Every structure is written in C-alpha cells, then in structure tokens.
Structure 1
Amino acid sequence: MALIVFSDLDGTLLDHGSYAWAPAAPALDALRARGVPLVLATSKTSAEVASLHAELKLGDTPAIVENGAGLYRPGAQAQGGDDYARIRQALANVTPDLRASFEGFGDVDAARIAEMTGLSEDAAALAQKRLFSEPGRWTGTAADLSDFKEMLAVSGIEARYGGRFLTLSLGRTKADAMAEVKADLGGTTTIALGDAPNDIEMLEAADRAVIVRNDHGTGLPHLAGEDTGRIRRTKAPGPTGWAEAVLALLDELDKDASHG
C-alpha cells in the first residue's frame, strides 16, 4: 500500500486562530516514521506555503496551493500568473454595485489583509502573491451574490467559500490536483482531511476522509461517505482533532494490512 495523506491547512492542520500546528506533532512524526507523504492542500499561495513546508520537513513532496489551482514544487520556479490576471479582468467587468460588495486581496494593501486574516503584515504580503485565484470578503446580500457569480461565470470564473473567504478561480479543485499528485507519487491509497466547502471534492474523492471540526468556519453538510464510515468527523477542532484522526486511521490501516 502506497499511502498519501492530503490535508487542508487553516482550521484543519493549523489552528483557526493562532495558525499553530504543534498539537499535530505526534501524528506528523508517525507519518514521517512510516515514510508516508503529507501533501498540503490549501488556499494559500506558493509563497506562503514555502516556509511552512520547510518547517514541517516535507522534503520534495509537492503541495496543492490556491485551492487546487496550482502546485508548489520545492526548489522549482513558480509558474502561472495568467489565471490571476484573467480573474482580475473579470472583476473589472462586474457592474459597480456588485463589485463594491467584494473586497479582494488585490484591492487592498498588506495591512488590510493582516487585519482580515490575523496574519502578520509580512505574511499578508506573501498572501498577495497570487497566481491562480483571488480570495476576498463578500459584504452584499445572498441575492446579490448570486448575480455576482453569474456575471463572473460569463468569463469562466467560479466563486466559492473556503474557511474564511469567498475565493474566485477558474474552477480547478483540490480533488483535481489530488489526482495529479497521486499519479505523480504512485499512490494507491489516499486519506484527505479538511473543514470547509472548498474541501468537499477532495474529501469525497479520497479513499478515507476526515472532516475536522471548526466552530468558526462555514461548516460542511452531511456527506454521503459518512453513511458508510468512509468519511468521519473529529470531536476536537483543528490540529488536535487532526492528530487524533490521523493516528486512528494509521492504526486501522495497520490492522487491515496485518489481517490481509
């Protein structure tokens, strides 16, 4: 069995408020001891992921960035930028009344992003180095949001919620990127962990999946895989729940292998 673990960051491996991952250390050590690749799958940019990737000692393992729209490959030059330009142009074409209700990362400075996210200004500046997607805050009504999405769809742009923001992209999901990375790494079995609507496709595509409790996020509806036990939910939030779930799944897979 060639196991690969795919994990969202904010509210999942990282604490929603502090962005700390320390409670997950025992499970991270267990993955490392087994030689199981951990693939980060996040809305963050390659520039943001690079330092955390190194801190977690993930080696040459790629990471899924900007909600699946791109991949971060350690040591490789970042590719892209055309997608982001296309999204910004589509925003410019939205009627002014609807456009005024969306505050994107490209509309503000690093200080404002720091205020919106709780990141330091240096970290917020890295969050602005976008190549494939545009997160932001929607302040209008639900009806206006529907109109906003329809106008963007004319340009091939999709808008969906993650843990904190409404993110605009060309539609490639974390599941699409997961399939690519799985093939690249020769994986046969996948575990995915996430907490937000933009994780649903990835959770549903994995062999086993975990919805990590996040009392601050949008939350996830009941997924079909929960009826069979293929998808489970954690009781504890963030990295604490993440670690408990990963260790439990590793134990179950070990037992399955020994009985096989």
Structure 2
Amino acid sequence: MTANIDLIVFTDLDGTLIDHDTYKWGAAQQALTALSDISAGVILASSKTAPEVSALRTELGLGSWPAIVENGAGLLPAHVDAIESTTQYGELRRILDGIPTELRDLFRGFGDVTIDGVVEMTGLSYDAAALAKQRAFSEPGQWLGTDSQKSEFLERLTAHGVVAQQGGRFLTLSFGGNKVDQMRRIIETHHPKYTVALGDAPNDVAMLEHATFGVVVANPHRPPLPPLQGEAGGQIIRTTAAGPLGWNTAILDLLDRLELH
C-alpha cells in the first residue's frame, strides 16, 4: 500500500455492501473492480467480529487493507486473520449480568444464546453464526422492552463505562470506540485525497459525515436515516436501490464525479 492515494472507501456491510436478506455482495462487483483498477483502498467497517470480517475480506480480495470490526471497538490489521485475545468481552458480560434481572432479561445478546440462537437472530449459516459468537470487544443483541426501560438499562450500563450503538439489526454494547474513531486513524496513516463512506444505520452516521462524500444506502427493512449534516450541500447522497446494487451505483457515480478512472 502507498501512504498517499487518491481514494479510500469505508463501507458498512450488512444492508450496505451485503444484501440484508441473502448476505450476498455480487451486485457490487463492477464497482469493486473499478476501485481495484485505480488502487483505491476499501475498508470494511462492521459490527461483525474479526473472524467474520477476515473471511469476507479475503473473499473480496481486500486483505492488504485493515478492517474496522465490532462497530469500531477493534481494528483488524492488514494481512492478519485474528485479533490477539482481550479481556474486554468477559468484563462486558460480567457488567451486563450485574444489571437487575427485570432489565437484564430484556436484552438478548449473542452470548445469551447458542449458535443456533444466533442463526435464528441473524439468518446467518451455522458456520457464520459460530464466527459471530467469537467476540473480543462488544456484545450485540436484541432489545425486547420499552423505550423507557431501554433508557434505564443504558443508564445503568453507562455508570460502568459501557456505551451502546444502534445498528441496522442490533443494539451493540462496548467500552467505547466507534467506526469514525478508527476511520480517522486510517486517514492519518494513508492521507487519501478523497474519502467515501457508505452505510445505512445510525451507527454509520458519524462515519458518513466525516467523509468527503457519505452515501446513505437505502434499506427498506429499517426507517431511513434523518437528514444528515452536509446533505443539503451534496456531501451526503442517498441511493434509490438497496444494498449492494445501490452501493455499486453510488461508487460508479462518484468515480465519474471525481474523475477517477
């Protein structure tokens, strides 16, 4: 990799580069090839674990670039398949289990269910769900209670230094760090002329607003994001097509706009 390049793309996965229902990315192949042809960087930025992202990064041919994992709580270096073990996940689960039962039972995390349970929650294959349970930094889960109960739940966690980020499917708990924090680190290292970020969920907003251009990828499975900072001026754009098809169109249009061929 060169320290100075024209473009780095930061992309969410589920509902963005990857189809919400099928978990396929083939509809984005044309744009991915175009990015490869100009030696652009492509950084996967996801709530997925390092083992999950590593496998996908290899499949996409992006192993020479780092990847943002577990909603930015960790960074998977280039050419590395796994992150060294940490104690963060165990500590997070300990704090979570200390929450009063009437609130704790309203959060169904990946650590609360078997691999089959993760399959049920996500629609992943059994093998992919097993990778999703190999967590180092964060705990995604489903909130089963009311908004007021959720506020009390999060207030109790905040007292122990735990923060929450709402993604397209899950509420994810961690000790901090988000996608834009890792994005800044990568930009400081490689000094790209332009950056593009693509996402569909609230936990992508800071990343979208920090990029030269942010792309809100349509996702009919969730409410659309509200108007974002920079949207009126054209820094933020929205796709009509959902998932990888929308991703593909947006990237090709931006490459034309930036005259990067």
Question: By how many angstroms is 1:217 displaced?
Answer: 2.5
Q: Which residue of 1 aligns with 2:120?
A: 115
Q: Which residue of 1 aligns with 2:96?
A: 91
Question: By how many angstroms is 1:81 displaced?
Answer: 2.4
CA distance in 1, matches of 2:158, 2:10: 29
CA distance in 2, matches of 1:209, 1:75: 27
**Residues 5-44 of structure 1 deviation map (CA, whole Å, 9 limit, x = unaligned):** 0000000000000011010000000000000010000000
Q: Which residue of 1 aligns with 2:229?
A: 224
TM-score, normalising length from structure 1? 0.95
Q: Which deviates more from structure 2 when the two are superposed, residues 163-172 or residues 66-75? A: 66-75
Match of 2:38 among 34, 42, 51: 34
Match of 1:152 among 142, 157, 167: 157
CA distance in 2, matches of 1:173, 1:2: 24
Whether the 8 Å CA contact 1:213–1:237 is kept in 2: the answer is yes
CA distance in 1, matches of 2:221, 2:86: 31
Q: Give the counterpart letter for 2:229 in structure 1.
A: A
CA distance in 2, matches of 1:79, 1:70: 11
Q: Find out whether 1:192 has 2:197 as its counterpart.
A: yes
Q: Give the counterpart letter for 2:153 in structure 1.
A: F
Q: Give the counterpart letter for 1:121 in structure 2.
A: Y
CA distance in 1, matches of 2:16, 2:234: 20
Match of 1:48 among 49, 52, 55: 52
CA distance in 2, matches of 1:84, 1:119: 22
Whether the 8 Å CA contact 1:50–1:74 is kept in 2: the answer is no
Q: Give the counterpart letter for 1:239 in structure 2.
A: P
Q: Give the counterpart letter for 2:45 in structure 1.
A: A
Q: Give the counterpart letter for 1:144 in structure 2.
A: Q
TM-score, normalising length from structure 2? 0.95
Unaligned ranges ≥5, structure 1: none
Match of 2:62 among 58, 64, 80: 58
Question: By how many angstroms is 1:80 displaced?
Answer: 4.4
Q: Find out whether 1:8 has 2:12 as its counterpart.
A: yes
> Identical aligned pairs, as a percentage?
50
Aligned to 1:244, the other structure's residue is in SS state: helix
CA distance in 1, matches of 2:247, 2:152: 37
Q: Which residue of 2 aligns with 1:69?
A: 73
CA distance in 2, matches of 1:245, 1:40: 16
Whether the 8 Å CA contact 1:8–1:199 is kept in 2: the answer is yes
Q: Give the counterpart letter for 2:155 in structure 1.
A: E
Question: By how many angstroms is 1:207 displaced?
Answer: 1.0
Aligned to 1:159, the other structure's residue is in SS state: strand
Number of residue pairs the alignment of both structures matches:
256
Question: By how many angstroms is 1:50 displaced?
Answer: 1.2
Question: By how many angstroms is 1:74 displaced?
Answer: 3.9
- Point out the structure with the larger helix share: 1
Match of 1:243 among 235, 245, 248: 248
Question: By how many angstroms is 1:218 displaced?
Answer: 4.4
Question: By how many angstroms is 1:186 displaced?
Answer: 3.1
Question: By how many angstroms is 1:204 displaced?
Answer: 0.9
- Where do residues 139-178 of structure 1 align in structure 2 (5 Å cutoff)? 139-178=144-183
Aligned to 1:137, the other structure's residue is in SS state: strand
Q: Which residue of 2 aligns with 1:137?
A: 142
CA distance in 2, matches of 1:20, 1:111: 21
CA distance in 1, matches of 2:237, 2:103: 38
CA distance in 1, matches of 2:259, 2:186: 23
Whether the 8 Å CA contact 1:197–1:219 is kept in 2: the answer is no
Q: Give the counterpart letter for 2:54 in structure 1.
A: A
